[in-house]
Chains A and B, each alone.
Chain A
């Protein structure tokens, strides 16, 4: 770990008077420094956020005057069967992909936490799916899952499957399975590397002590590794849930939400409504429908990080 721990650098208590002097005089400097970036964030995150809420209350199409409709867009969402399909899709996508990424990531982290030659090289290669631009790697997956020339189907057909083999992106269930699989491929390294870093902070003597007390490998994992890794698992999972729940790129490239809306998520559906159909207000209302679930996770994670970090 390059990152130095805060606790490694002990800061002895300072005399109160000097500390107070610095606080007062530091306030001006602090605000002077923070003012510009704060202004920027208010203008380009705060304002769009509030403006988005306003948009969702309007009937606004491209090149037409806006009409205030109150909760009209949300009522339209509630009556739209596709919207409810999108809700279901997003939850299935998020839950299944998160479980696969967390389970697989933990497994990979445990495998990599052993001593072997080429460890650093392996770690660097394992992270590749996560660093390569998602759209570009998803294009490769599109070709792997191609209806006519899928390399998977070449093998399946040669193993006796009826040609042309499964339509990975054409069948609603297989399409959902495929986008979840590709999301897992991309996100698993993040879990693995972060959990590996977590594993490396667990002191070896704890395992020695457990072994002396007669713990087998399962018990060492269950009663030493897992409890000590739990905070890391929690943070990584919450973090990944936020970005899986609001995923756009992968589904947009792979299926555009199809077939027959079977893989539409909140983000892709609101994009379709706002950008393709030009209904900004309705689109904004679909995007905002993500907020309750997201806000819950964001608030929990922010509080948790704050407690640990600040």
Chain B
């Protein structure tokens, strides 16, 4: 009897709500996959049960890879995400380190400014930014986004890394200083290596943010060969009123895979980045 009751409670309190939430979360991904594998005849036949796949085909994937610049867009997206993440980690460290470990005049004000900058949303800045990028002659270059993505990523990385930098005991640094290390050496050899998890968290998070960016890419990148995946998909797989649904779903799925793979390897670090600041470990 007790066992039975426990089983029922577990079903009601755990498995049913969990199943509901998982269905809610994962259905679009299932639908993306199924759609991308359906031949057009099946895709646009409202008589057939849509959840099932009768004649799977890779045609949409082949078309996407051969008839559009999808591979180039993927390369662009990766390049931009990797370079802007690297820049942001370096600049973020340079900003976070003194704020976290040296109590110098003006540091409180800078810390406040960094937090505020992190929270300024892009739509507040994109119009002047478009004009500035145009005047710099950077329209339709990957440099335009590589230069502007760090505006969001640097404050984020700095803010996240600060917590890690603060957690390294001052004694370690002082011991190094007494042994004759400079400020820079103490940072480079002692503190930064201890903060590797912080760099992974910040890096993963910045990378996914860069992959996700759309507004600047939409405005700055108007030519096929410089586009990123999201902009390419929206601008070139939807032509007027014609939606290439099979290819769109294939693009959505393939475009999500790099992020999903990296994420799956570093879930813990990603979650640490996500919850930093709102939850004190």
Please report the C-alpha to C-alpha distance between residue A302 and residue B279 in the assembled complex, in whole angstroms. 15
A249 at the interface (CB under 8 A from B): yes
Q: Which of B86-107 contact A (CB under 8 A)?
A: 91-92, 94-95, 97-99, 102-107
Measured in the bound complex, the distance between the Cα atoms of B27 and A144 in whole Å is 10
Does any Cβ of A come within 8 Å of B1's Cβ? Answer: no
B278 near A239 with CB under 8 A, answer yes
- The verdict on A45 contacting chain B, using a C-beta distance below 8 Å, is yes
Task: Confirm or deny: A308 has a beta carbon within 8 angstroms of a beta carbon on chain B.
Answer: yes
Partner of A305, one of B31, B212, B277: B277
Which of the residues B46, B127, B201 comes within 8 Å of A55, measured between beta carbons? Answer: B127
Query: Which residue of the partner chain, among A132, A146, A231, contacts B259 with CB atoms under 8 Å?
Result: A132
CB of A9 within 8 Å of the partner chain: yes
A136 surroundings in chain B (CB, below 8 A): 229-230, 233, 251-252, 255-256
Interface SS of chain A: helix
Q: Which residues of B contact A173 (CB under 8 A)?
A: none
The reply to whether B148 and A246 contact each other, CB–CB distance below 8 Å, is no
Q: Which residue of B lies closest to A130 (CB)?
A: B274
* B132 nearest in chain A by CB position: A48
Q: Is the interface of B mostly helix, strand, loop or mixed?
A: helix
Among A37, A134, A198, A271, contact of B278 (Cβ-Cβ < 8 Å): A198
**A45-B117, A120-B267 as given contacts; A270 in contact with B123, CB under 8 Å:** yes
| Interface pair B105/A123, CB less than 8 Å apart | no
Q: Contacts A40-B154, A45-B120, A143-B249 hold; do A34 and B110 have CB atoms under 8 A apart?
A: yes
In the bound assembly, the distance between CA atoms of A151 and B92 in angstroms comes to 45
Closest Cβ of chain A to B19, distance in Å, is 10
Please judge, given known A-B contacts A2-B201, A266-B123, A271-B126, whether A37 and B281 are in contact too, CB under 8 Å: no
Q: Is B84 an interface residue (CB 8 A)?
A: no
A11 touching B252 in the complex, CB below 8 Å, given contacts A52-B124, A133-B212, A197-B275: no
Q: Which among B44, B97, B132, B214 is the interface contact of A249 at CB below 8 angstroms?
A: B214
| A216, B238: Cα distance in complex, Å | 55
> Which bucket holds chain B's interface residue count?
35 or more
Report the bound CA distance from A27 to B125 in whole Å.
32
Query: For the complex, is A64 an interface residue (Cβ under 8 Å from B)?
Result: no
Question: How long is the Cα–Cα vector from A2 to B275 in the complex, in angstroms?
Answer: 10
Closest chain A CB from B75 CB (angstroms): 16
Contact with A along B243-267 (1 / 0, CB 8 A): 0010011011001100110011001
Partner of B260, one of A30, A48, A132, A298: A132
Task: Report whether B170 and A30 are in contact in the complex, using a CB–CB cutoff of 8 Å.
Answer: no
Q: Mark A47-62, 1 if CB is under 8 A from B, else 0.
A: 1110110010000000
Q: Quick check: is A82 within 8 A (CB to CB) of the other chain? A: no
Expressed in whole angstroms, the Cα–Cα distance for A306 and B99 within the complex equals 12
Bound-complex Cα distance A25 to B121 (A): 37
Please measure, in the bound complex, the distance between the C-alpha atom of A204 and the C-alpha atom of B25, giving whole angstroms. Answer: 29
Q: Which residues of B contact A127 (CB under 8 A)?
A: 263, 267, 270-271, 274
- Contact across chains for A185 and B127 when beta carbons are under 8 A apart: no
Asked if A284 is at the interface (CB within 8 A of a chain B CB), the reply is: yes
Point out the residues of chain B lying under 8 angstroms from A137, CB to CB: 28, 252, 256
Q: Which single member of A31, A193, A299 contacts B271 (CB below 8 Å)?
A: A193
A190 adjacent to chain B (CB < 8 Å): yes
Closest B-chain residue to A285, C-beta based? B127
Partner of A194, one of B103, B256, B278: B278
Taking CB atoms, residues of chain B closer than 8 Å to A111 are 13-14, 17-18, 21
List 27 contacting pairs A-B, 8 Å CB cutoff, sorted by A: A2-B271, A2-B281, A5-B167, A30-B102, A38-B110, A40-B91, A41-B154, A44-B148, A45-B151, A49-B125, A52-B125, A126-B25, A127-B271, A135-B231, A137-B28, A139-B251, A140-B35, A154-B50, A193-B275, A197-B271, A198-B275, A201-B280, A235-B277, A236-B278, A243-B121, A280-B130, A302-B116
Counting from the closest, the 3 A-B pairs by CB-CB distance are A30-B98, A267-B123, A246-B121
A47-B132, A283-B127 are known contacts; what are 7 more A-B pairs with Cβ within 8 Å?
A2-B268, A34-B95, A52-B128, A123-B267, A131-B208, A246-B123, A287-B123
